[in-house]
Amino acid sequence: MLTYSAAVRHISLITCILLYTTTLPYDVTLPYFARFFPGEPHLCKGRLTTIDLRVAGTTNAQHRVEKDSRLYDTSTHGFILSLYHNPLDSLFFEVTLPFYHIHHDCPAYGCCSLKELGMSAWTTGISLNLFSPEKLDFVDLSIETGILFPPSAHGRNGCGVPLKGSVAIGLFDWITIGAEGDVAYFFDSVKSLQYNVNWFLEADHFVRGFSCLLGYSYSHQKPAPYFWHPLCCDYWSMHTLHMSLGYDLATEHHPGLPNLELFYNRLLNGINVTGNSMVGLSIRTTF
């Protein structure tokens, strides 16, 4: 059984969770690994259900920052299970449950490994799909909000409220360009605030079921003690490059077959962040 001092030490070392995306669940960006691609606007179709499983991990556990900080060398792997449903054409609901295994290497405390349920997201939103066959293939718009629940092992008042908007434009029957922006306000003792901006270019089903994506995101959190553990950090920011290659197995006769996607999130630069890039696999089915 853990002593009180050991429990405090373990909580202080927990500095990372996995909360990454399916079609568009809210992604809490953390300074301990590269941000995940935030996704495209939701499909505007009633009675549509999507189940997504993502498995990912850090490609290294190096502590690379632009100035001195108190972050630990961290490696992480885990998976996210997400459920998305459209009861009506424009209305959607989502539940996201992240499970992760995190390993810390700190000279002062030694190594520490923990397995936990991460920060869950329950969100709802509205999607709009505008067709313009004369000039554009489509214009998709989406706005989303909800509540973020703190990790299971931490009885801290770290719940948050996200607000997210995104747009995607289709061109030439196979090219999609888009942008996304979001902000999250956390109801902790210091009222921390985080925001992210993102753009992407996608070649959608350019050869049979193959699709590829290239994106960029900038993330920033205001100076504050971190919202769900007692480690006190300065402000942080990061620049992330997103790359993915996917293959859609679904056909007209078998629409429930999954979409498989390999993704890589490369942390390009940042302040008060580690150098952990992320690589993983996504399996998603829609019915």
Could you write out the DSSP letters of every residue in 105-117?
Answer: EETTTEEEEEEEE
pLDDT recorded at residue 9 = 39
- For 74-88, how does the pLDDT look when each residue is reduced to its tens digit (9 = 90+)? 666 777 788 888 888
- For 170-190, how does the pLDDT look when each residue is reduced to its tens digit (9 = 90+)? 998 899 999 999 988 877 655
CATH code of the domain containing 255: 2.40.160.40
Residue 39: burial class (beta carbons within 10 Å; 0-12, 13-18, 19+):
buried
Helix, strand or coil for residue 78? Answer: strand
**CB–CB of 53/282 below 8 Å?**
yes
pLDDT recorded at residue 21 = 30
Helix, strand or coil for residue 63? Answer: coil
Q: Which two tokens stand for residue 253?
A: 């006769």
- For 100-140, how does the pLDDT look when each residue is reduced to its tens digit (9 = 90+)? 776 666 555 566 666 667 778 889 999 888 876 677 888 89
| CA angle centred on 183, ends 26 and 189, rounded to 5° | 100
| Domain span at 16 | 4-286
Q: Please tell me the distance from the alpha carbon of residue 40 to that of residue 22, in angstroms, as a whole number.
A: 9
Number of domains, the chain: 1
Helix, strand or coil for residue 12? Answer: helix
Q: How far apart are the first and last CA of the chain?
A: 46
- For 230-263, how does the pLDDT look when each residue is reduced to its tens digit (9 = 90+)? 444 557 788 999 999 999 998 888 888 999 999 9
